[in-house]
Copies of this chain bind each other. A is one copy, B any other.
Amino acid sequence: MAFSHDPSGPQPAFGTGLLLTDLYQLNMLQAYLEAGMTETAVFEFFVRKLPPGRNFLMAAGLETVVDFLERAAFTAAELEWLRESDRFSKAFVDHLEGFRFTGELHALREGTICFPDEPLLRLTAPLPEAQLLETRIINLLHFQTVIASKAARMVLAAPGKTLVDFGLRRAHGAEAGLLAARASYLAGFSGSATTPAARLYGIPVYGTMAHSFIQAHDDEEAAFESFARARPEAVVLLLDTYDTLAAARTVIRLAPRLAQRGISVRGVRLDSGDLAEEARAVRRLLDRAGLGRIQIFASGGLDETLLARYQAEAVPIDGYGIGTSLTTASDAPALDCAYKLQAYAGQPKRKVSTGKATWPGRKQVFRHYGRDAVMAGDILTCDGDRQGGEALVSPVMRAGTRIAPLPGLEEARAHAAAELRRLPPALRSLAPAPAYPVEVSPALRRLAEEADRARREAGGA
């Protein structure tokens, strides 16, 4: 239990300085500075379309982005490295030395359900700042939204079950493992196996034993007993190293002996084979032996489709450890998302490339609710256009610092849970549902036409 949350620890989400960006950002920055193009730009981050088969997204990663923006700077070693190259002028690198984010940030709360074209984040800052920060903002926000959106499906598929992130080993690097622990907890997971997630984010961590522990011992019963004595407070024994039912009988033999020492077996874990069939057989054995209180955990190749099937079949599994499918979001490891210039120097801007046209200007989303507070439809409009309903995009940072403390992870998690309760029933299902209605307001349509006209008049194309 008593692992403490220690957010003063190293934040791996801020492992490198501002050099962590695409080279073209530096190229463009130098061009902007030389041309004196430092007026205010507005960029918005949004998703263009849902991955196949998905019904919604859950916004995640805002706190990590705010931490990044508040600390964003080049390190001394990075500046030195840039100076030593002949790629950039001395004046430019001197300018980078003083680089800080000084702008405004607006965003959806973490845990908010959202849809294509809706801005998850809006950054308003001098153009060079807003441009340079693009790469890492997308990198942080995209991935956590990918994971929260995937985890939310698992949470919906297995109501009442304990879901634990087991995915660090196959996550794409260390930061991915940590951010996935955070994003899945936000979306409703009970915790993670990733130890430093407890320290960095205050997330409950879980851990049992591996097959190698059993294999290293000469026999399984000795392995179980040794583990139980060493970790008496959390005895979960892994059954499937050799023969699952034989191992269950071993547990039944062992349990009274451990009880005499005051150690109770809390659970058993299955990690291979037909998990449903094995769980039923193990449950029967345990129940017949009067060990109904021993819980069954399952892991190994799970995803939301399997969770939903086990739920529908009332398979007696109490909790799931979910690894690869969660932390790589294996069916949709990326979203078609963008961080796009929406206005510069007061003029609305829009890209009109084939298939990639965007809505210009600062935007707001108003959400309407129907009976039982179920989401009924959104209106995407210009910021400042009053539409009724709940405004979802709110101010977060001003002059480069947060306006108020952000909701803590527990509060964001409670918001995410409330959001899932407000989802229309068809969207809660794993089956593809008709698209949730997101209406583009007349004001926004007019602004798009104006942006196109202004560009044509300026001879832009």
In the complex, what's the smallest C-beta–C-beta distance from A56 to chain B, in angstroms?
Answer: 20
Is there an interface contact between A23 and B195, defined as CB atoms closer than 8 Å?
yes
Considering only CB atoms and an 8 Å cut-off, how many residues of chain A contact the other chain? 121
A394 an interface residue at 8 Å Cβ cutoff? no
Is there an interface contact between B230 and A353, defined as CB atoms closer than 8 Å?
no
Note all chain B residues with C-beta closer than 8 A to A219.
Answer: 458-460
Q: Which of A113-121, A173-181, A406-414, A427-435 contacts B (4 or more CB under 8 A)?
A: A173-181
In the complex, what's the smallest C-beta–C-beta distance from A259 to chain B, in angstroms?
Answer: 19
Note all chain B residues with C-beta closer than 8 A to A168.
Answer: 20-22, 135, 139
A43 an interface residue at 8 Å Cβ cutoff? yes
Q: A10-B16, A272-B356 are contacts. A138–B24 as well, Cβ < 8 Å?
A: no
Q: A135-B168, A172-B172, A353-B273 are contacts. A210–B24 as well, Cβ < 8 Å?
A: yes
Within 8 A of B (CB), among A21-78: 21-28, 30-32, 34-35, 37, 41, 43, 77-78
A6 an interface residue at 8 Å Cβ cutoff? yes
Q: Which of A239-247, A281-289, A309-317, A374-382 contacts B (4 or more CB under 8 A)?
A: A239-247
Is there an interface contact between B352 and A207, defined as CB atoms closer than 8 Å?
no
Query: A227 — nearest CB in chain B belongs to which residue?
Result: B31
Q: A215-233 toward B: CB 8 Å interface, digit per residue (1/0)?
A: 1111110000011011100
Note all chain B residues with C-beta closer than 8 A to A242.
Answer: 351-353, 455, 460-461
Is there an interface contact between B344 and A216, defined as CB atoms closer than 8 Å?
yes
User: Which residue of the partner chain, among B26, B146, B274, contacts A207 with CB atoms under 8 Å?
Assistant: B26
- Cα-based distance from A274 to B272 in the complex (angstroms): 45
Is there an interface contact between A87 and B2, defined as CB atoms closer than 8 Å?
yes
A305 an interface residue at 8 Å Cβ cutoff? no
Is there an interface contact between A272 and B355, defined as CB atoms closer than 8 Å?
yes
Is there an interface contact between A208 and B460, defined as CB atoms closer than 8 Å?
no
A211 an interface residue at 8 Å Cβ cutoff? yes
Q: A341-B211, A351-B215, A353-B273 are contacts. A139–B24 as well, Cβ < 8 Å?
A: no
User: Which residue of the partner chain, among B25, B205, B337, contacts A23 with CB atoms under 8 Å?
Assistant: B205
Q: Which of A98-106, A328-336, A362-370 contacts B (4 or more CB under 8 A)?
A: A328-336
In the complex, what's the smallest C-beta–C-beta distance from A274 to chain B, in angstroms?
Answer: 8
- Cα-based distance from A117 to B168 in the complex (angstroms): 22
- Cα-based distance from A154 to B208 in the complex (angstroms): 40
Query: A222 — nearest CB in chain B belongs to which residue?
Result: B35
Is there an interface contact between B208 and A27, defined as CB atoms closer than 8 Å?
yes
In the complex, what's the smallest C-beta–C-beta distance from A178 to chain B, in angstroms?
Answer: 8
Query: A352 — nearest CB in chain B belongs to which residue?
Result: B242
Within 8 A of B (CB), among A232-279: 234, 240-243, 246-247, 271-274
